[in-house]
Amino acid sequence: AQSVTQPDIHITVSEGASLELRCNYSYGATPYLFWYVQSPGQGLQLLLKYFSGDTLVQGIKGFEAEFKRSQSSFNLRKPSVHWSDAAEYFCAVSRDDKIIFGKGTRLHILP
């Protein structure tokens, strides 16, 4: 069965530091992969997606993610975080026309 694993429930980084959020997936075929961000009081916002092609994907707000088939991973990165990046981040994989979400990683930013 398709699944998405985000091994880190909470991540704390200092403002200006680099960030990497981990995501591993289990999927029989070539997956469609996504990262979403959820801020309090706001809906889920798509940061970036991977369908095919270049395995390094650029997204909004300075985020990028790299698809590594050999590791079944799709980790999210940002070179320098801002206090406004504090939020819940969800990795997701598609199944037919539906999305399966990971359990999320809560990102905390230290001033």
Residues in touch with other proteins (CB under 8 A): 4, 9, 32, 34, 36, 41-46, 49, 90, 94, 97-104
Smallest distance, Å, CB 73 to other proteins?
17
52 CB neighbour count, 10 Å cutoff: 8
Longest CA–CA span in the chain (Å) reads 42
For other proteins, the closer of residues 28 and 40 by Cβ is 40
- How far, CA to CA in Å, does 31 sit from each of 12, 44, 95? 29, 20, 8
For other proteins, the closer of residues 5 and 15 by Cβ is 5
Pick from 53, 42, 54, 36: which is nearest to 90 by CA? 36
> From the CA atom positions of the chain, what is the Rg in Å?
13
Smallest distance, Å, CB 35 to other proteins?
11
For other proteins, the closer of residues 74 and 90 by Cβ is 90
Smallest distance, Å, CB 41 to other proteins?
6
